[in-house]
Amino acid sequence: MSGNDNTSETVRTSSATAITLTNNDYDLLLVSLTGATAVTLPSGLLVQPGRLYRIYKDASAQTVTITPAAGLIDGGANTTLASGAAHAKAFVTDGTNWFTITAY
């Protein structure tokens, strides 16, 4: 939640090629990407079970690779948002690993 009113989520917009999400992040909007981008989710051990992150990528011709700092994501080492179209995924942790709960 944002520190201002505890009712809205913190949104970060970025075009960086390497991003590490923190406890202050909820929604990450990746826009106008100029190269392949790597996003790191925090270790599931360091955030409360049930913690949610959403990552959106615009239609730029770049791939986004999402990797947890520790643990797995959907049983694998990473997941991607494909290039050439807008995509988004939402992730939740069980306190150890990460799981995709929505994707488009």
Query: Hey, which bits of the chain come out as E strands?
Result: 11-14, 18-20, 27-30, 37-41, 52-57, 64-68, 79-81, 87-93, 98-103
Q: Which two tokens stand for residue 32?
A: 């106008």
Look at residue 100 and tell me whether its pLDDT is greater than 70. Answer: yes
From the list 47, 51, 16, 12, the residue with the least C-alpha distance to 33 is: 16
Provide CB contacts within 8 A for 6, sequence distance 6+: none
Q: What is the pLDDT of residues 31-66, one digit of tens each?
A: 988 889 999 999 999 999 999 999 999 998 899 999
Look at residue 2 and tell me whether its pLDDT is greater than 50. Answer: no
Measured CA to CA, the distance from residue 90 to residue 104 in angstroms comes to 10
Mean pLDDT over each residue of the chain, to the nearest integer: 90
Look at residue 1 and tell me whether its pLDDT is greater than 60. Answer: no
pLDDT at 58: 93
Fold classification of 11-103 (topology level): Jelly Rolls (2.60.120)
Where along the chain do its domains lie?
11-103
pTM of the model: 0.88
Residue 9: pLDDT band (50, 70, 90) is confident
Look at residue 27 and tell me whether its pLDDT is greater than 90. Answer: yes
- Number of CB atoms found within 10 A of residue 65's CB: 14
